[in-house]
Copies of this chain bind each other. A is one copy, B any other.
């Protein structure tokens, strides 16, 4: 593994690895959580790696299905997911078609609730109580409810995944992460919810070069760091 690394970097925690090494953690039928919002902040090399390894029957958890050829959309559009838990699929018409044809199961969760469910998973909590969607046919369907101090709440269960993949601006060898502007979005939440978390970083910097005050995701939650080749898709607005 060390030999394959192009980055000459001390690897005192053994977390820095190659895409090939990272790919050993993916298998058919697994639960995979991904960072990103409309494709912004999704890890391009890991997504391509999953495609190339022909991983299928994925249960995906993340904000949305991206665009057909942007972000996680590349996986969804090729029919590699059997289910996704997301807040919307509107920007990826292929996802809508697959859903209509019964080839993709979609569990919709309100965006803020989804974020909290992912965070709750990452924080080792069982669920959160929210009044968002109380009495709403689709959102409350099959969910427990509870009255607390005279108000009705939905019990929204925590979400975790076998593997989480996130995209960071910088990582250090311990896996401490910082993100870039709005590419932060769901990444810090997703990073905590994976039983095994892989961060793809635009830049891997030496231990001690990130200011401890600025670290958004502590390396405690990150199991593996791989260098990124950068975004390789054309944006919807281009």
Contact at B116–A123, with CB atoms within 8 Å? Answer: yes
Contact at A131–B123, with CB atoms within 8 Å? Answer: no
State the Cβ distance, A109 to closest chain B Cβ, in Å: 14
Cα A158 to Cα B178 in complex, Å, equals 29
Q: Identify which of A33-41, A69-77, A87-95, A144-152 touches chain B.
A: A144-152
**Does chain B have a CB within 8 A of A52?**
no
**Does chain B have a CB within 8 A of A125?**
yes
Contact at B213–A181, with CB atoms within 8 Å? Answer: yes
By a CB distance below 8 angstroms, the chain B residues around A130 are 124-126
User: Which bucket holds chain A's interface residue count?
Assistant: 20 to 34
Q: A144-B148, A148-B144 are in contact. Are A129 and B126 (CB under 8 A)?
A: yes
Contact at A127–B144, with CB atoms within 8 Å? Answer: no
By a CB distance below 8 angstroms, the chain B residues around A155 are 129, 146, 148
> Restricting to A107-156, which residues have a CB under 8 Å from any CB of B?
116, 120, 123-131, 144, 146, 148-149, 151, 153, 155
In the complex, which residue of chain B has the Cβ closest to the Cβ of A147?
A: B144
Contact at A127–B128, with CB atoms within 8 Å? Answer: yes
State the Cβ distance, A163 to closest chain B Cβ, in Å: 20
Contact at A126–B144, with CB atoms within 8 Å? Answer: no
By a CB distance below 8 angstroms, the chain B residues around A116 are 123, 125
> Restricting to A204-225, which residues have a CB under 8 Å from any CB of B?
212-214
State the Cβ distance, A149 to closest chain B Cβ, in Å: 7
**Does chain B have a CB within 8 A of A188?**
no
**Does chain B have a CB within 8 A of A66?**
no
**Does chain B have a CB within 8 A of A173?**
no
Cα A227 to Cα B228 in complex, Å, equals 43
By a CB distance below 8 angstroms, the chain B residues around A148 are 126-127, 144, 155, 157
By a CB distance below 8 angstroms, the chain B residues around A158 are 129
Could you pull out 25 A-B pairs where Cβ atoms are within 8 angstroms?
Answer: A116-B125, A120-B128, A124-B130, A125-B128, A125-B130, A126-B128, A126-B129, A126-B131, A126-B148, A126-B153, A127-B128, A127-B129, A127-B148, A127-B153, A128-B129, A129-B129, A129-B155, A144-B148, A146-B155, A148-B155, A148-B157, A149-B157, A181-B212, A181-B213, A214-B214
Cβ-closest 7 pairs across A and B: A126-B129, A127-B129, A126-B153, A214-B214, A125-B128, A125-B130, A126-B148
